[in-house]
Structure 1
């Protein structure tokens, strides 16, 4: 059984810029589908009135500083 979801593209000011309606069989499937939109910016995933998650944009993940890995010798 599938459920209705929406992926909202969130602008820098926090206002929804656009939305994509889709169906998925579970929350995890919906998140996997919505992840494709993160190349455009931050995405909020909703199932009716229930917020599932906020997915950060690919660009913000690329700009995060990498932490050095400590190795023991």
Structure 2
């Protein structure tokens, strides 16, 4: 699953730590999601989308094989 979290963070000048604190996870979790090593749970995806005032579909996209 691809996502644009890193891009959104940079556009909004938000660190991984700030995003992690805002959505209740660790910075390492944000890093893992951004690099595709971990797929966010649905509740976490909703929190991230809400934080950036976007829909889940705006942030996360399925890839072949997902």
Q: Same fold (TM over 0.5)?
A: no
TM-score, normalized by length of structure 2? Answer: 0.29
Pair member with larger Rg: 1
TM-score, normalized by length of structure 1? Answer: 0.27
The structure where strand makes up a greater share of residues is 1
